Each structure stands twice: as structure tokens, then as C-alpha cells.
Amino acid sequence: MADKFEKATRLRSARSSKYSSASAAADALGMKASTYRAHENGQNDLKLDEAKVYGKKFGVDPLWLMAEDGIVSAANQNDSPNAVVGAKLVGRGRTIKVYGRAVGGVDGEFEMNGSVLYEIMAPPILSDVNGAYGVQVSGDSMSPRYEDGEVCFVDPDRRVKKGDYVIAQIRLDEHGPLLAYVKKFIRHNAEELVLSQFNPEKELRFAAPCVVSVHYIALAGNA
């Protein structure tokens, strides 16, 4: 049986040749964006009847979307022999864990308790980064930069600078839960961490002792 993450990678590749984002594809298909993203992110396995719908819309063979051996994507038939459909996102075949929660807090935060939503193919930029992971955005506090349900791919080793987009892990109380915030980085010093969000537009400030980590977001799942 074909791996659902291979199906997801092929679906994402086929979609990107026709639509710039998963949301745009979902609109064209007349379906909820969250339903479509669950297939493109590998959260839900792709069935043949669904592959037929996607294949017709994206111009590829449904059996190719199902990762059947020997089936070539219609979108790839006119490419050079060395072209590989989906190479942009396949990386080296490595999967990384995606964390998050379906419904976030007031500022889109969620409890970072180690619970994995699902796994997804790592993009090439993170294929050699130890500890790379993904987070699923909750709510619209960072729209239009990041939409609800999108996956942000995180490089924990890269240095963060002003203007970068990050995921900050915060523990507000000594024995409280670890909370994760996807925001724009303003500054981090010995006194505080300052982040900003779009909806509503505001700054979030956290005392330095509450800050567990601030990691760089390399790209989003639908980028």
C-alpha cells in the first residue's frame, strides 16, 4: 500500500503547477480549505475517488497521485527526462513531525506538549537540519502571512534576526504548560522577548525568564 506522505507530496506538486496555494485550490474545487490541506499535508490518507477529483482539476493521472508504480504525471510528460515531479518538496525522503492544535488560544498559541499531529515530508532546505519540525497554524492572527491550517517548517539552528518569523516557546508559570506562538520577531534581550502579530495588530511581550526557545520559520507548507 502506498505511503500517504508520498501521496501528499505528489498532490502538493500537482497543485503547485496550477494554483499558488492550497486555499486557492480548495476554492477552485468548491471544498473547505481544511479538508484539502489534510490531504496535502498527509494528515488524511488520499482515496482513489478523491484522487480522481484532484487529478482532473490539476491535470495529472489519479493513479500517479495514488503513488502507483509506473504511472507518470501528465504534468511531467513534457519535462526533460531528468525532471522529477515534486522534487521541490521531497527533499531526501525524510519526514519531520508536525505539532499544533486544531483550535488555538486568543493569540493563536497552543500547548507544546510533545503531541504529534502527523508527519510530513521535509522540504530540501531542512533535509540536513537535525531537530527540524513543523507547526500547524491555529487561527488567523498571522494572516495573510500564515493562514489557519498551514504548516510552518522550522529550523531550530538558524540565528533569528529582527523581522524574521518565528515560533516562540513560552512558559508563563514555573510549573505551567509550554505554549507555542507563531509570530514576527522584534527583539529578544536580557529583559524581554517582543513579538508582533497582524490580527489584531499588536505586540506581545514576555519576560526573559519565561522564554524557553525562539526558532526560525524557514517557509510555510503552501509556499
**Could you tell me the pTM of the whole model?**
0.59
On the question of a common fold for 4-90 and 95-220, the answer reads no
C-alpha 188: how far from chain center: 25
What percentage of the chain exceeds 70 in pLDDT?
A: 85
In this structure, whether the domain defined by 95-220 belongs to CATH 2.10.109.10 is answered with yes
Confidence band of 102 (pLDDT split at 50, 70, 90): low
Q: Once rounded to an integer, what is the mean pLDDT over residues 142-160?
A: 90
> Per residue in 44-59, pLDDT tens?
888 888 989 998 888 8
Domain boundaries, the chain: 4-90, 95-220
Burial of 175 (0-12, 13-18, 19+ CB in 10 A): exposed
CATH (residue range 4-90): 1.10.260.40
